[in-house]
């Protein structure tokens, strides 16, 4: 029913009746809704591993585990049909690329922990960093032995790196270049080295899944940051409690900053690989360029925006 032709009083009365009926139905249906949710929550509390958690915020994204499973199944099918032969008897091409991405993640975490160390770090903290660095160095050395079987051209890149920095100057393990297909796109395009397109396709799909996973983590951390800030402003009083609250919020902000770096690196790799795989792989439209103004909680507008001009961040 249109209210345009009604007088001001009749229009207000009609809208009041509609809103009142809606609120009355909502109150009357609360009993059944509470009973339904009570059963759901009690079922989850009784068996949290198998029962779904309806309070968890979920977004339909592509997971790296699902992509890895799909690639492993494709490798198995190709081997079964005799269309491919693995050079390494234990590590398939997709496993090699997946391991390289995991090593890059460990490099990022190690770099973050080293940057967070202060001059007054304890001996135990320093020992953990050194042990972590040694273990990561061993993993990278073992992985590079497998990488040169599938990407022989990287041997020349390693030699060039040593020649540029000097044989006596060592590079930190967290800063070592792994030369995955996304990192040698420019060299491949000019024909200096060759790289199997299938390796690039593997990394492309894994990078897309990685970008979606990191974007989901960033959204969760932004929601957590927003709620913690609101709770601090509403309930926390006193210098001691405010200091603890700010320290906790700063820890969440560090996670957000780390997510931003990881997402931008994954998106850059996807774009580079798409240039190498023209006609085979395209950048998903949901993976956009992440600008600083986009890193905000969903209901918050940009700085200086009024209520009438507030817009949602695309993330």
Query: Does some domain include residue 22?
Result: no
Mean pLDDT (whole number) for 188-202: 79
Reply yes or no on whether the pLDDT at 315 is more than 90. Answer: no
CA distance 225 to 40: 27
Pair 290, 218: CB distance under 8 Å: no
Q: Which tokens hold the place of 70?
A: 């799909």
Query: Does some domain include residue 31?
Result: no
Q: Lowest mean pLDDT: which of 110-114, 180-184, 305-309, 311-315?
A: 305-309
Q: Which tokens hold the place of 119?
A: 């001059």
CA distance 260 to 256: 6
Query: What b/e sequence results for 124-161 when a residue is b if at least 16 CB atoms lie within 10 Å of its CB, and e otherwise?
Result: eeeeeeeebeeebeeebeebbebbeebbeebeebeeee
Query: Does some domain include residue 261?
Result: yes
What local confidence, expressed as pLDDT, does residue 300 receive?
59
**Half-sphere exposure of residue 12: CA atoms within 13 angstroms, side-chain side:** 2
Most distant CA pair in the chain, distance: 89
Query: Does some domain include residue 35?
Result: no
**301 vs 42: which has the higher pLDDT:** 42
* 53, burial (CB in 10 Å: exposed 0-12, middle 13-18, buried 19+): exposed
Query: Does some domain include residue 153?
Result: yes
Q: What's the pLDDT tens digit per position in 72-93? A: 888 788 778 876 666 777 788 8
Q: What's the pLDDT tens digit per position in 90-111? A: 788 888 999 999 999 999 999 9
- Average of per-residue pLDDT values in the chain: 85
Pair 229, 297: CB distance under 8 Å: no
For 247, the domain range is 64-292
Q: What's the pLDDT tens digit per position in 260-285? A: 999 999 999 999 999 888 877 888 88
Query: Does some domain include residue 50?
Result: no
Query: Does some domain include residue 128?
Result: yes
Query: Does some domain include residue 132?
Result: yes
Q: What's the pLDDT tens digit per position in 297-312? A: 766 555 566 666 667 7
Q: Per the structure, how many domains does the chain have? A: 1
CA distance 143 to 177: 12
Q: Which tokens hold the place of 110?
A: 């190690």
What local confidence, expressed as pLDDT, does residue 263 receive?
94
Whole-model pTM? 0.75
């Amino acid at each position: 029913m249109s209210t345009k032709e009604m007088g001001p009083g009749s229009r207000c009365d009609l809208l009041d009746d509609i809103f009142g009926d809606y609120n009355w139905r909502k109150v009357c249906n609360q009993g059944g809704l509470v009973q339904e949710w009570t059963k759901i929550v009690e079922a989850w509390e009784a068996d949290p591993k198998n029962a779904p958690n309806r309070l968890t915020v979920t977004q339909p994204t592509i997971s790296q585990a699902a992509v890895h499973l799909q690639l492993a199944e494709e490798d198995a099918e190709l081997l079964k049909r005799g269309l491919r032969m693995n050079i390494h008897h234990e590590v398939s091409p997709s496993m090699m690329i997946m391991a390289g991405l995991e090593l890059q993640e460990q490099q990022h975490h190690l770099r973050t922990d080293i940057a967070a160390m202060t001059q007054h770090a304890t001996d135990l903290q320093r020992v953990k960093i050194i042990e972590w660095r040694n273990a990561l160095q061993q993993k990278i050395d073992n992985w590079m032995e497998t990488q040169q079987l599938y990407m022989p051209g990287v041997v020349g890149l390693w030699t060039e790196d040593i020649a540029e920095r000097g044989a006596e100057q060592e590079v930190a393990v967290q800063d070592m270049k792994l030369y995955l297909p996304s990192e040698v796109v420019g060299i491949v395009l000019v024909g200096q080295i060759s790289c199997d397109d299938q390796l690039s396709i593997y990394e492309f799909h894994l990078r897309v899944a990685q970008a979606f996973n990191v974007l989901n983590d960033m959204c969760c951390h932004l929601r957590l940051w927003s709620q913690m800030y609101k709770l601090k402003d509403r309930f926390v009083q006193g210098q001691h409690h405010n200091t603890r609250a700010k320290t906790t919020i700063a820890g969440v902000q560090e996670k957000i900053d780390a997510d931003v770096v990881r997402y931008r690196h994954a998106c850059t790799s996807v774009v580079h690989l798409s240039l190498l795989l023209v006609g085979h792989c395209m950048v998903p439209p949901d993976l956009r360029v992440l600008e600083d103004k986009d890193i905000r909680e969903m209901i918050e507008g940009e700085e200086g925006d009024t209520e009438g001009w507030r817009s949602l961040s695309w993330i």
